[in-house]
Chains A and B, each alone.
Chain A
Amino acid sequence: EVQLVESGGGLVQPGRSMKLSCAASGFTFSNYGMAWVRQAPTKGLEWVATISYDGSSTYYRDSVKGRFTISRDNAKSTLYLQMNSLRSEDTATYYCTREQLPLDYWGQGVMVTVSS
Chain B
Amino acid sequence: DIVMTQTPSSQAVSAGEKVTMSCKSSQSLLYSENKKNYLAWYQQKPGQSPKLLISWASTRESGVPDRFIGSGSGTDFTLTISSVQAEDLAVYYCEQYYDTPLTFGSGTKLEIK
Residues of A that sit less than 8 Å from B by CB: 35, 37, 44-47, 50, 59, 61-62, 95, 101-109
Set B38, B51, B52, B104: member contacting A45, Cβ < 8 A = B104
What is B's interface to A at a CB cutoff of 8 Å? Answer: 38, 40, 42, 44, 49-52, 55, 61, 93, 95, 97, 100-107
Q: How far is the CA of A45 from the CA of B105 in the complex (A)?
A: 8
> DSSP class of A's interface residues: helix, strand, loop or mixed?
strand
A/B interface sample: 24 pairs, CB < 8 A:
A37-B102, A44-B104, A44-B105, A44-B106, A45-B42, A45-B104, A45-B107, A47-B101, A47-B102, A47-B103, A47-B104, A61-B101, A62-B101, A95-B49, A101-B97, A102-B40, A102-B52, A102-B55, A103-B42, A103-B50, A103-B52, A106-B49, A108-B49, A109-B49
Please name all residues of chain A whose beta carbon is closer than 8 Å to the beta carbon of B42 when the two chains form the complex: 45, 103
Q: Are A106 and B106 in contact (CB under 8 A)?
A: no
